[in-house]
């Protein structure tokens, strides 16, 4: 397959990818073990999507204009159907699940998010060593936070759709994780937030990389981006800065489109490019903080979690740049046709993806 054919296939793949490339936070789960040998889980998700997913199974007709009362009535009538999509296993054995509707919020003000909170609960077997979780009514990536009232720090996994979690150790019946284990967990979470779960951030980093195959302009941009997102990641986590996700997410998409379009217009590092990349880094940092905030960190773990999470992000960014360099630029970066046949079509595809996500995220907000 020629380079041009590979690029055409890649462009089509990018444009056909689901726009929810950075959908962490749309749904989340917080599962807690209690001292009375029970567990409970709060599932926060989008009410309209949930009601429409279970509607056909509950013999409920599709309604275009759902309000909070209708959603609560429909979900309450379908709690057993919802329970069938929840699977909690202790040492491989399935736990019975009961589901109730805890909260439904559908504000008239479109600037505020609509959400529903489901409460699932069940018994915990004596001396259980570990549990796994699976939820079959979500299709995007979501944060699953596990905690134990009897001690230990919350542990988080990011799950794709209806995938089963890795086992969560029950600390009351097993050895607690070390400080190194906790740091390693957040480092891995930071890396996975970019690779493979943060396609939008990957495309932004590729946009930085594709301006020119020379190393110095890449380092200047990456440094500006790193400093900026590190600043806002910390400030947002401590509550100094705060912008809602329906503003941050479209701006992240626009930043992707901008760097790609500028790569088409120019092939050198302009004086304003590092300044704009720094500004975009401030925005991306607030997006990173939104994902980290979903983990509901204890106050004493915020600083080590920030450091480990940020290191994971940096390692992922470097991995993306290294992969792009050794896959393409190392071999053909000095060819006279590299810009016309590689940079231009790939940047056009990245810009199209960024603009598409921008429109979709605005319409979904």
**pLDDT by residue (tens digit) across 125-136?**
888 888 999 999
256 touches 203 (CB < 8 A): yes
Cα separation, 116 vs 78, in Å, equals 14
Q: What is the pLDDT of residue 43?
A: 94
For the stretch 201-223, pLDDT in tens is 999 999 999 998 888 888 889 99
Contact (CB, 8 A) for 22 and 106: no
Residues 320/200, Cβ–Cβ less than 8 Å: no
Average pLDDT for 146-164? 84
pTM of the model: 0.62
**Average pLDDT of span 268-280:** 91
Percent of the chain predicted with pLDDT > 90 = 39
- Give the angle subtended at the CA of 338 by the CAs of 335 and 339, to the nearest 5°: 135
Q: Which of 47-56, 106-115, 317-326 has the lowest mean pLDDT?
A: 106-115
| Rounded Cα–Cα distance for residues 221 and 315 (Å) | 16
CB count within 10 Å of CB 160 equals: 12
- Residue 344's pLDDT band, with cuts at 50, 70 and 90, is very high
Section 337-365 average pLDDT:
91
15 close to 349: Cβ distance less than 8 angstroms:
yes
Return the ∠ at Cα 144 (arms to 138 and 145), rounded to 5°.
155
Q: What is the mean pLDDT of residues 88-106?
A: 92
User: CB count, 10 Å around CB of 72?
Assistant: 17
CA distance 27 to 173: 30
Length of the chain: 365
Radius of gyration of the chain (CA): 22
Grade residue 198 by pLDDT with cuts at 50, 70 and 90. Answer: confident
- 365 has pLDDT over 80: no
Q: How many CA atoms lie within 13 A of 78 on its CB side?
A: 22
CB neighbour burial string for 298-310, b if at least 16 within 10 angstroms, e if fewer? eeebeeebbbbbb
- CA 74 to CA 270: how far, in whole Å? 56
User: What pLDDT is stored for residue 294 in this prediction?
Assistant: 65
Mean pLDDT of 12-23: 42
Residue range 315-328: mean pLDDT, rounded:
92
Residues 6+ apart with CB under 8 A from 87: 94, 97, 132, 133, 134, 135, 136, 164
How confident is the model at residue 15, as a pLDDT?
42
Q: Tell me what the mean pLDDT of segment 36-43 comes to.
A: 92
Mean pLDDT of the 44-65 span:
80
Mean pLDDT within 98-109: 87
Residues 346, 195: Cα–Cα separation, whole Å? 19
pLDDT of the residue at 300: 65
| CB-based contacts of 314, cutoff 8 Å, min separation 6 | 226
**Residue-wise pLDDT tens digits, 170-182:** 865 555 566 777 7
Contacts of 89 (CB under 8 A, 6+ apart): 95, 131, 132
For residue 4, pLDDT beyond 50: no
In the chain, what are the domain boundaries? Answer: 3-22+198-364, 28-175
Exposure of 133 in the CB half-sphere (CA atoms within 13 A): 31
CA 310 to chain centre: 15
Q: Where are the alpha helices (DSSP H) in 195-214?
A: 199-209
**What pLDDT score was predicted for residue 64?**
65
Peptide bond into 69 cis (omega under 30): no
Q: How confident is the model at residue 267 (pLDDT cuts 50, 70, 90)?
A: confident
Q: What percent of the chain has pLDDT over 70?
A: 86
């Amino acid at each position: 397959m020629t380079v041009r054919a590979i690029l055409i296939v890649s462009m089509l793949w990018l444009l056909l990818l689901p726009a929810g490339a950075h959908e962490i936070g749309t749904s989340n789960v917080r599962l807690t073990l209690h001292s009375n040998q029970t567990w409970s889980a709060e599932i926060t998700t989008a009410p309209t999507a949930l009601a429409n997913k279970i509607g056909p199974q509950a013999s409920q007709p599709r309604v275009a204009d759902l309000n909070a009362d209708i959603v609560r009535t429909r979900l309450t009538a379908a709690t057993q159907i919802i329970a069938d999509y929840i699977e909690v296993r202790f040492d491989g054995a399935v736990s019975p699940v009961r589901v109730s509707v805890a909260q439904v919020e559908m504000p008239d003000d479109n600037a505020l998010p609509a959400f529903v909170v489901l409460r699932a609960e069940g018994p915990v077997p004596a001396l259980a060593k570990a549990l796994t979780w699976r939820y079959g009514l979500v299709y995007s990536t979501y944060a699953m936070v596990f905690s134990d009232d009897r001690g230990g720090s919350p542990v988080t996994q990011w799950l794709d759709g209806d995938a089963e979690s890795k086992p969560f150790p029950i600390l009351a019946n097993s050895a607690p994780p070390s400080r190194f284990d906790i740091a390693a967990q957040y480092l891995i979470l930071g890396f996975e937030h970019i690779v493979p779960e943060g396609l939008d951030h990957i495309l932004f980093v590729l946009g930085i990389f594709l301006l020119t195959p020379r190393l110095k302009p890449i380092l200047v941009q990456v440094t500006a981006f790193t400093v900026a997102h590190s600043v806002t990641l910390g400030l947002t986590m401590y509550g100094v800065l705060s912008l809602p996700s329906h503003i941050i997410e479209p701006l992240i998409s626009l930043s992707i489109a901008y760097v790609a379009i500028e790569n088409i217009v120019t092939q050198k590092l302009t004086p304003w490019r590092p300044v704009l990349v720094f500004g975009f880094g401030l925005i991306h940092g607030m997006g990173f903080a939104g994902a980290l905030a979903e983990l509901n960190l204890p106050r004493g773990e915020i600083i080590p979690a920030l450091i480990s999470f940020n290191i994971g992000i940096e390692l992922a960014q470097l991995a993306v740049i290294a992969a792009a360099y050794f896959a393409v630029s190392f071999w053909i970066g000095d060819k006279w046709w590299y810009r016309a046949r590689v940079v231009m079509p790939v940047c056009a595809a990245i810009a199209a993806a960024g603009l598409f996500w921008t429109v979709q995220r605005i319409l979904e907000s």
